[in-house]
Structure 1
Amino acid sequence: MPLEPIRVVVTGAAGQIAYSLLYQLAKGDVFGPDQPLYLHLLDIPVMMGVLEGVVMELMDCALPLLLGVVPTADPAEGFKDIDAAFLVGAMPRKEGMERKDLLAANVKIFKVQGQALDQHAKKTVKVLVVGNPANTNALICSKYAPSIPRENFSAMTRLDQNRAQAQLAARFGVGIDNVRNVIIWGNHSSTQYPDARFAVVTKDGGESRVADSAADAAWLQDQFISTVQKRGAAVIAARKMSSAMSAAKAACDHMRDWWLGTTGDKYVSMGVISDGSYNTPKDIIFSFPVLVKDKQWTIVQGLELDAFSVQKLQQTGQELNEEKEEALAVCQD
């Protein structure tokens, strides 16, 4: 029996990330190879001409799962009856910009989108925030959508996880699938803590923990963390534009695992509402290692944090608390 179609909205749909994202969604890479869907493409009025070209291309891809496309500049139409949301549209970070520069402009966008979700989306909608500062944008979006459970809002740190996984795979000379359980703690910012202490590498038929490699200890605490933290800035310096292809792929990875579930003991990093686990501040969107079943995530518990890790979690938690206070102040202006 065919599956009921779902409705998926992508904001900033005429932009760079969406251009890589939409094909993967319509092809079945995220919600499954048998899941038909309608795509709602939301952008600002001045981008409607560009969006028309995107709609033409989606039609010309002749993708069997794509039942229809709704291009619009109206949030009410964009968010109507949707099952999943990719909130990509935001003022992009440019070279030399600090995250705080982004905050004031973007928080207001996500306040409006939260209100539109509250009024028009399904209460079961899964909302993935990609636009930066993603953690705080997700928090504000959730605040202004009180009828939707807070657990249904998530910020993307999967790009950071993918970056960390790729660095470890290159370091140990293995394929990307042979590295699992690297963690991104905290904020999608330069204070994030890429943690490889629980990562497992499969090589030559055996498994080993990355943390057990004494030869790599200094690299793991220094160059590895720094490379992952600053990767976005490095891409901007090289491309003169922010990450798009890798961000789109990460958004697909994040939503696929949220929608279809994780497997076995392989956990993934998601920015989710903090319940205070690992002594993190409550009521912020903080990236934790999670497992997902039946579209519900649970934070992996019982991981032992060393003194170095405790300090890193405190640092990124403090930044998120500061962002939260700034964002709430902007919303009340």
Structure 2
Amino acid sequence: MSNVVRVAVTGAAGQVAYTLLPRLASGEVFGPNTKVILQLLEVPRSVFPKAMEGLEGVAMELEDCAFPTLQEIIVTDDENTAFNGVNYALLVGAAPRGPGMERKDLLMKNAQIFQKQGSALAAKAATGVRILVVGNPCNTNCLIAYRNGKDIPQNQWGAMTRLDHNRAVGALAKKAGVANEEVTNVTIWGNHSNTQYPDFTNAKIKGKPATEVITDRTWLETVYVPQCQERGKAIINKRGLSSAFSAANGALDHVKSLLKPTPAGDWTSAAVISNGEYGVPKGLVFGYPVRSDGQGNLSIVPGLSLDTFGKSKFDATLKELLEEQDAVKDLLPS
């Protein structure tokens, strides 16, 4: 077993990471012939002592699993240590929204975290590192990290809309009464928030346009779209906790997609840095339909069209992302 991959995970004592880490360590993602070194970051003891204590407990559990593919676990509260030589960085940790906190306050609090992480990644990560921002608001957190770590090419950065994509696939499959794998060509446009647009007009079910299989347009517009947009809130209302294992699964699916070519004729969803595609301003981190070459590179699918309904949803999520960018503009290096 000669291959070794270094994977950084931030917020590594949290619930999303608790689900994610054993699957990274087990060989599921990188295969049985690749050793994994996990470099796990939490907030310093001086800020929140229980975070590092919790992370040490997680590391003990990983050791107790005795995964053949897990070579080493590094536990740290220092970004430079966590990102040193990493091939993949999953930025899961983010500041939560507190009582009475305005969205702009949340953006600014997270900006301070992702400024430091972007700079540390640029200084310490391996040359071909692939970065996925999971911690919310992930699109704008990714923008902040990228702008503070621009020595890393923009095509190596991304934010997670794969959770939303999976939710959208599952909802269409359930309504149509088909297997999940029979739903293809789904897109999550825009922000990983309740303004996202789960595009059913370009989706297919068993190779046919989804709108020909599910002919109830009212359901698609007034039930399906809001259901996808508000799914996270609905889960919190049911279980009293956030959707941790489905979020972890979405992050892992994103990484798996980087490692395997997208099937011909299909695509998946990811938020990537725009070069102006579909009229989105350059530099904005926006959810697009993407294809993978299996070598770590995602390309935006060109030439899709949106109807009047879809365009209105696209414009709404773009507006929100531009407002978020404006809120943190003073923290974005040119």
CA contact (8 A) 1:93 1:242 kept: no
Alignment partner, residue 21 of structure 1: 20
In the TM superposition, what is the alpha-carbon distance from 1:70 to its structure 2 partner? 0.3
In the TM superposition, what is the alpha-carbon distance from 1:328 to its structure 2 partner? 2.2
Amino acid at match of 2:23: Q
Q: Could you tell me how far apart the structure 2 residues matched to 1:130 and 1:225 are? A: 22
Alignment partner, residue 278 of structure 2: 278
Alignment partner, residue 10 of structure 1: 9
What pairs with 1:135-284 in structure 2 (closer than 5 Å)?
A: 135-202=139-206, 207-213=207-213, 215-284=215-284
Alignment partner, residue 328 of structure 2: 327
Percent of paired sites with the same residue: 45
Give the 3 Å change call, closer, same or farther, for CA 20–285 of structure 1 in structure 2. same
Q: Could you tell me how far apart the structure 2 residues matched to 1:57 and 1:215 are? A: 49
In the TM superposition, what is the alpha-carbon distance from 1:208 to its structure 2 partner? 2.1
Deviations 1:190-230 (A, max 9, x none): 1110001122222xxxx322122463211111210000001
Q: Could you tell me how far apart the structure 2 residues matched to 1:237 and 1:96 are? A: 19
Alignment partner, residue 127 of structure 2: 123
Amino acid at match of 1:323: E
Deviations 1:249-303 (A, max 9, x none): 0000011101333222221100001112112222100000000102111100111
Aligned CA RMSD, in angstroms, stands at 1.7
Give the 3 Å change call, closer, same or farther, for CA 16–300 of structure 1 in structure 2. same
In the TM superposition, what is the alpha-carbon distance from 1:331 to its structure 2 partner? 6.0
Q: Could you tell me how far apart the structure 1 residues matched to 2:5 and 2:31 are? A: 11
- SS of residue paired to 1:137: helix
Superposition TM-score, scaled by structure 2 size: 0.93
- 5+ residue gaps in structure 2? none
CA contact (8 A) 1:134 1:156 kept: yes
Query: Residue 79 of structure 2 is aligned with which of 75, 97, 100?
Result: 75
Amino acid at match of 2:169: Q
Alignment partner, residue 62 of structure 1: 66
Deviations 1:229-259 (A, max 9, x none): 0111111222222210100000000111013
Deviations 1:86-120 (A, max 9, x none): 00011234688764442121111000100110111
Q: Could you tell me how far apart the structure 2 residues matched to 1:160 and 1:95 are? A: 25
- SS of residue paired to 1:289: strand
Alignment partner, residue 37 of structure 2: 38
- SS of residue paired to 2:119: helix
Amino acid at match of 1:245: F
- SS of residue paired to 2:34: coil
Q: Could you tell me how far apart the structure 2 residues matched to 1:130 and 1:75 are? A: 17
- SS of residue paired to 2:216: helix
- 5+ residue gaps in structure 1? none
Alignment partner, residue 303 of structure 1: 304
Give the 3 Å change call, closer, same or farther, for CA 191–83 of structure 1 in structure 2. same
**Mean CA deviation greater in 83-92 or 100-109:** 100-109
CA contact (8 A) 2:169 2:183 kept: yes
In the TM superposition, what is the alpha-carbon distance from 1:71 to its structure 2 partner? 0.5
CA contact (8 A) 2:268 2:290 kept: yes
Q: Could you tell me how far apart the structure 1 residues matched to 2:130 and 2:265 are? A: 23
Superposition TM-score, scaled by structure 1 size: 0.94
Amino acid at match of 2:3: E
Give the 3 Å change call, closer, same or farther, for CA 298–97 of structure 1 in structure 2. same
CA contact (8 A) 1:29 1:252 kept: no
Query: Residue 103 of structure 1 is aligned with which of 103, 107, 110?
Result: 107
Deviations 1:25-83 (A, max 9, x none): 11122223322110001001221111111011101111111001001111111000000
Give the 3 Å change call, closer, same or farther, for CA 242–22 of structure 1 in structure 2. same
- SS of residue paired to 1:215: coil
State yes or no: 1:90 paired with 2:89.
Answer: no
Give the 3 Å change call, closer, same or farther, for CA 106–115 of structure 1 in structure 2. same
CA contact (8 A) 1:94 1:242 kept: no
Q: Could you tell me how far apart the structure 2 residues matched to 1:157 and 1:226 are? A: 16
Q: Could you tell me how far apart the structure 1 residues matched to 2:111 and 2:34 are? A: 33
Q: Could you tell me how far apart the structure 2 residues matched to 1:61 and 1:96 are? A: 41
CA contact (8 A) 1:8 1:84 kept: yes
